[in-house]
Amino acid sequence: MKKLLLASVSVMAFASAAANANVQPEKINLQSLIATAMTSVNMADVLPENDAHIVVKKQSAALLAEETQIALHKNLLAMAKEKNKESTVLVAESE
């Protein structure tokens, strides 16, 4: 009797598992879900206040300005040296 009861429970469990395996999952409308989430969640409340992007932007602009000034200074020195060479050559030729 015990074996028969165990066998019938096993058959029921197998049948239940087979029936559940055939059930298709319900399709979720992702666009609707996203729209609902976007309207119900305020991003300003979720995200912490963070001014890092402003600080990085200011630092980048300052660094770019500094590097530009250095490059201009080097170019001006090179131009000044070239001009001195030209004037030295002109003086030497005129003598």
Q: Which domain holds residue 67?
A: 2-94
Reported as half-sphere exposure (CB side, CA atoms, 13 A), residue 44 has a value of 0
DSSP state of 47: S
Residue 6 pLDDT: 57
pTM for this structure?
0.36
DSSP classification of residue 49: P
pLDDT number for residue 27: 75
The structural domain count of the chain equals 1
Q: Which residue has the higher pLDDT, 35 or 62?
A: 62
Helix (H, G, I), strand (E, B) or coil at 28: coil
pLDDT digits (tens, 9 = 90+) for 48-72: 677 778 888 899 999 999 999 998 8
